[in-house]
Structure 1
Amino acid sequence: MFQYYLKLAWISIRKTPVLSLLMVLIITVGIAASMVTYTINYMMTQHPIPNKHDTVQLIHLSSWSSEQPYRELDGKEDAPSMMTYQDAENLFSAHKTSPLIKHQSIIGTYRDQIRAIHQPVTDARLRSMLTVNHDFFPMFDVPFLFGTAWSKQADEKGELVAVISSKLNEQLFNGENSVGKQIMMGNLILTISGVTDNWLPTPKFYYVRTESFVNPRDIMIPFKSQIQNELFAKSDTRYYCVNYPTVQSFSTFLASNCVWLHFWIELNSATDLPQYNNFLNNYDAQQKQAGRFERDLASYTLNIEEYLTREKMIPEDTKLAVWLAFSFLVVCLLNCMSLMLNKFYNKRAEVGLRRAVGASRQNIAYQFGCETLLISIIGGFLGLLLTKLGLLAAQNVLTFLPQQVMEMNLPLASMALILAIVSCSIFSLWPIYKAIKVQPSSQLKSM
């Protein structure tokens, strides 16, 4: 029986090709507009490491000076998401062998001229890098194409080693296995220990907000290498000081109360968080007693999701764009409903004749329902195709976003098709209702 109604639906579509095509195109455009914006917003708001949503935490120390302006969050004073070198070293040393901590890493930055050792000096390019600890890589599930992270021994000694991205590896070594090869960083020679494999966490949560949706930095070196070699680029480092040291040397900067380092930890279990917070509160109290932490504000930790929310790393205008796109879809469906009303009205004579020969209102509803279903499926598949083209166009326009943000996965594609079918079915209820209310007697008299 269903096949029979589908056959009737296809005959009806062929009889009114222009009207049917207009409905398909309206559904196609509406689905594409809504799914392009929804896909980008959905991919931007996904948790970067869902399996570690409770165990990975960013430390916030209440280290602001009483003279320092502070940011308010929800009407309350907010501790900085960065810390001083002294505090970072204290926290790192306190839990080197702690059963609470699975991984921990300090994160700093540096920028210098980079080239492969076989390249001439003229080929060197200024590149930004992260300075991290060995634990950074397993804590954030960084995948490797070649090699591995540097060893813990290299971490502790501050050896001149590096992990580079697959993108930089392609540029410097034509994509070949470069483990053991060397690159020049200014006047220093770095040995490559590993090459990351397309690591693009979205959003890029582990550093500052302004880098949330840009490609990760292409080089990472040990944090201790930065300290031992006094690698500091003022133009590339985000830091906040009440009073910048009068003697502008690297050692005085390290000894100052300038905050410039992020400190992330991964707990062995989410149940260990209260115990770690207890340690943090004790450290906070000690620093307040020593006169370092001057504000009456407790130190605390934030997980990745909380940190993303606090820093507003997900732009609010993306949510507005989604609402506008779905509003546009509703407008499209209202237009489609108007066309259906017109189409079904023009078929009132056919409806009257079918009713006269014994067809029930339910049979008429099935017939027009199948026609709506067929139109929505065609519009849904064409909408998927147009969505794909729209996302490809967005990649060329929104170049500041990673490419993976603008890629539709299977669940989203299924959602687009279901959305087309369900929304069309809902908006077709009124035209179908009007069609089945046709009186056979009045139509037969007019024939």
Structure 2
Amino acid sequence: MLAYYLELALRSLKRSPGLTALMVLAIGFGVAASMTTWSVFRAVSGDPIPWKSAQLFVPQIDNWGPNGRGSDGEPPNAMSYNEAITLMRDHRARLQSAMYQISPSIVPADASKHPINVSGHAVYSEFFPMLDVPFLFGSGWSAADDAQRAAVVVISSKLNQKLFGGSNSVGRTVNVEGKDYRVVGVLNDWNPQPRFFDVVNSGGFSTGVEDVFVPFQRAIAVGMPNDGNTNCNAVPAESGFVGLQHSACVWIAYMAELDDAAAVTAYKQYLDGYARDMQQSGRFGWAPNNRLRDLPSWLDNQHVVPSDTKVSLLVALGLLLACLVNTTGLLLAKFLRRSGEIGVRRALGAPRLAIYAQFLVEAGIVGLSGGLLGLLLTGVGVASVGWVLPKDIAALARVDFSLLVLTLLVAVIATMLAGLYPTFRASRVQPAWQLKSN
């Protein structure tokens, strides 16, 4: 019977090509708009480390007090050097790392080549196992290297290709800011989006790759300056990078791994205990106002998903709904124009279920055709989002197999839903009335 209904549907669609084309265009444009915006929204709202995000936490310590809080009462979204070093020294989490952004120059061994400006972070050794950072060669450095402020470095595969032709460079030397550093590891392709480990500086998204990671205390010792955001509630008493370290300015990102609810509770109690100690010592003149958020909550708090992508998605869904309403009207007009045919079929013994099946198959063909057009328009839309969205975000949108399947499913299911009411009306045609009128 399905083949028979398909034949009837194709004959019907061919009889009114203009109306058929109008319905296909409506579905195609509506589905393409919604799927294009969905591809962007999916990219920016995805969990960057889904297998572990519930165990990764970002602590916030209120070292500025009421005058430095936002209108929502939030403490600073980064840490001062003093707080970060204290938390690292007390080490109340299973794994943890303070970090700050750097942009050193790499001097190639070949004197004929120009220095390479790269981006990266100064971190502790626990950064790599905490974030499950993948390595192509070697590994991160050790805790002993942290303590000794060793001149070691982890580089990206991209930088490794530039400097060493992609070969295993572990044990070789890289000149960073005029000083030699021993390569201990080469990252595999690793560019998580959102850039969750330092959202404050990256804004969550970046097309650039982190090329170098050096020990935190080594970077401090050689005066490798912060290249990220620095926020101060008062002018530092001393100048330069050392003055920044001695100030209450916040410029250091921090992340800790806590395995269960008991560890989270204990860590929050530790943060509040630290704040109370600072209050009793006179350094803080206010009650504890700390925060401890897991990674998904932190990304939400920092508004990593741009509001305009949410608005665009709602607008696109509204457009799809409008297209479906129009398609419903067109199908209703088309089906009711065939009341005579329906009356004859009913008079010959066709049950209402057969009428339902016939016209839903016709609606499904319209949806499938609109979906195929929507696939083409979705590809064009994804390639064009860079015209309306920032480059770093637009680069994340992509057409993959799941998006292709979803586009077809949305088109077919949405059109069949739009055809339910017209099909219901068609199935209610009274054969006696139609035969008398004819």
TM-score if structure 1 supplies the norm length?
Answer: 0.89
Superposed, 1:26-425 pairs within 5 Å as 26-64=26-64, 68-73=67-72, 77-95=73-91, 101-118=93-110, 120=112, 123-209=114-200, 211=202, 212-215=204-207, 216-233=209-226, 236-394=227-385, 398=389, 400-401=391-392, 405-425=396-416
- 1:149–1:194: 8 Å Cα contact kept in structure 2? yes
Q: SS at the partner of 1:83?
A: coil
Change (3 A) 1:250 1:327: closer
Q: Which runs of 4+ in 1 moved over 6 A?
A: none
| CA gap 1:173/1:444 in 2 versus in 1, 3 angstroms | farther
| CA distance in structure 2 between the aligned counterparts of 1:147 and 1:397, rounded to whole angstroms | 41
Given that 1:179 and 1:194 are in contact with CA atoms closer than 8 Å, whether structure 2 keeps it comes out as yes
Three-state SS of the structure 2 residue aligned to 1:206 is helix
Aligned to 2:3: 3
Relative to 1, partners in 2 of residues 1:261 and 1:210: Cα closer, same or farther, differing over 3 Å?
A: closer
Structure 2 vs 1, CA of residues 330 and 403 (structure 1 numbering), >3 Å: closer, same or farther?
closer
Q: Which runs of 5+ in 2 are unaligned?
A: none
Task: Report the alpha carbon displacement of residue 324 of structure 1 after superposing the two structures with TM.
Answer: 0.3
Distance in 2 of aligned mates of 1:299 and 1:2: 64
Number of aligned residue pairs: give it: 436
Give secondary structure in 2 for the equivalent of 1:274: helix
C-alpha distance after superposition, 1:80-100 (max 9, x if no partner): 1222222212211112xx6xx
Distance 2:71 2:278 in 1: 22
Post-superposition CA distance 1:152-199 (Å, at most 9, x none): 322222222222223333444444443334333221223332232232
Gaps of 5+ in 1: none
For residues 292-342 of structure 1, give each alpha carbon's deviation from its aligned partner in whole angstroms, at most 9, with x where no partner exists: 222323323111122112222221221111110011001111222232123
Once the two structures are superposed, residues 197-225 of structure 1 have per-residue CA deviations (whole angstroms, 9 ceiling, x without a partner) of 23232222221445111134322211111
CA RMSD, Structure 1 to Structure 2 (Å):
2.5
Deviates most, 364-373 or 205-214: 205-214
Q: In structure 2, how many angstroms separate the alpha carbons of the residues matched to 1:344 and 1:119?
A: 78
Which residue identity lines up with residue 131 of structure 2 in the other structure? Answer: F
State the alpha-carbon separation in 1 of the partners of residues 399 and 53 from structure 2.
24
1-side partners of 2:118 and 2:148: how far apart?
Answer: 24
String of CA shifts for 1:122-160, please: whole Å, max 9, x gaps. Answer: x22333321111111121122223332223322222222
Following the alignment from structure 1 to structure 2, what is the Cα–Cα distance between the partners of residues 7 and 174? 61
Three-state SS of the structure 2 residue aligned to 1:431 is: helix
Determine helix, strand or coil for the equivalent of 1:193. strand
**What is the CA distance between 1:229 and its match in structure 2?**
0.7
Q: Does the CA-based 8 Å contact 1:147-1:193 persist in structure 2? A: yes
Q: Calculate percent identity across the aligned residue pairs.
A: 33
- Does the residue aligned with 2:119 lie in a helix, a strand or coil? strand
- Once residues 400 and 146 of structure 1 are traced to their aligned partners in structure 2, the CA distance between those partners, rounded to angstroms, is 31
* 211-220 or 272-281: bigger deviation: 211-220
Which shifted more, 359-368 or 245-254? 245-254
1:334-363 CA distance string (max 9 Å, x none): 222232123223323322322232223332
Shift of 1:285: 1.3
Q: Distance in 2 between matches of 1:410 and 1:293?
A: 55
Matched residue SS, 2:392: coil
Cα–Cα, structure 1 residues 291 and 139, in superposed 2: closer, same or farther, change >3 Å?
A: same
Q: Matched residues in 1 for 2:394 and 2:141: separation?
A: 29
Partners in 2 of 1:330 and 1:127 — Cα distance?
47
Shift of 1:372: 0.8
State the Cα distance separating 1:119 from its structure 2 match.
5.1
CA–CA separation in structure 2 for the residues paired with 1:171 and 1:19 = 58
Q: Distance in 1 between matches of 2:49 and 2:428?
A: 55
CA distance in 1, matches of 2:133, 2:111: 28
Compute the displacement of 1:281 (Å). 1.9
- Please report how far the alpha carbon of residue 383 of structure 1 lies from its aligned counterpart in structure 2 after TM superposition: 2.2
Instruction: Describe the shift of the 1:333–1:174 C-alpha distance in structure 2 as closer, same or farther (beyond 3 A).
Output: farther
Whole-Å separation in 1 of the counterparts to 2:420 and 2:238: 77
Report the 3-state secondary structure (helix = DSSP H, G, I; strand = E; otherwise coil) of the residue aligned with 1:162.
strand
Per-residue Cα deviation, 1:347-406 (whole angstroms, up to 9, x for no partner): 233223222322233322211111111221232244234323322333576453357731
CA contact (8 A) 1:168 1:218 kept: yes
Normalised to the residue count of structure 2, the TM-score between the two structures is: 0.90
The range that moved more, 221-230 or 159-168, is 159-168
Aligned-partner Cα distance in 2 for 1:218–1:155: 19
